[in-house]
């Protein structure tokens, strides 16, 4: 894995530097800001265990997108093609935390964005709305 790919994955999945460092520490406890920045710039070689962890994050996102596309294709084969695919994002980090504790707001928004791109590139109309804010 190159540093450029690591940075692309981090940003595409919506991780801030601090969130990404925390995520990388699950694979490599010595990960810190300096290490991540040097990996991303290609100054230091990315440890295999870290590269595998980053690839795993990316693969899980691709799996989610692929599963959604397959489900829609299955519906289309049954002549139940939806007029549009409705995706939901949360207006605030607090509203997301109430609905899905522990999920990162930026990651959620970025992942829904990737899903929207994949769906639209496959010919589906996508509608995005905010989830109702729970009080």
Q: Which fold has domain 3-130?
A: Putative cytoplasmic protein (1.10.3100)
Task: Read off the pLDDT of residues 83-115 as tens digits, 9 standing for 90 and up.
Answer: 788 999 999 999 999 988 988 899 999 999 999
- Long-range contacts formed by 122-128: CB under 8 A, 24+ apart: 122/69, 122/72, 124/72, 124/82, 124/84, 124/85, 125/83, 125/84, 125/85, 126/84, 126/85, 126/87, 127/84, 127/85, 127/86, 127/87, 128/86, 128/87, 128/88, 128/89
Task: Read off the pLDDT of residues 29-84 as tens digits, 9 standing for 90 and up.
Answer: 999 999 999 999 999 999 999 999 999 999 999 999 999 888 888 887 887 777 78
Domain extent listing, the chain: 3-130
- What pTM does this model have? 0.83
């Amino acid at each position: 894995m190159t540093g450029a790919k690591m940075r692309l994955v981090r940003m595409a999945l919506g991780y801030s530097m601090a969130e990404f460092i925390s995520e990388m520490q699950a694979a490599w406890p010595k990960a810190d800001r300096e290490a991540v920045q040097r990996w991303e710039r290609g100054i230091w070689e990315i440890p295999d265990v870290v590269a595998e962890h980053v690839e795993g994050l990316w693969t899980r996102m691709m799996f989610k997108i692929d599963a959604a596309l397959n489900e829609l294709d299955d519906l289309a084969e049954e002549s139940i093609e939806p007029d549009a695919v409705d995706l939901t994002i949360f207006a605030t980090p607090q509203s997301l935390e109430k609905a899905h504790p522990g999920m990162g707001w930026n990651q959620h928004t970025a992942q829904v964005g990737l899903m929207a791109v994949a769906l639209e590139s496959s010919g589906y109309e996508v509608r995005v709305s905010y989830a109702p804010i729970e009080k």
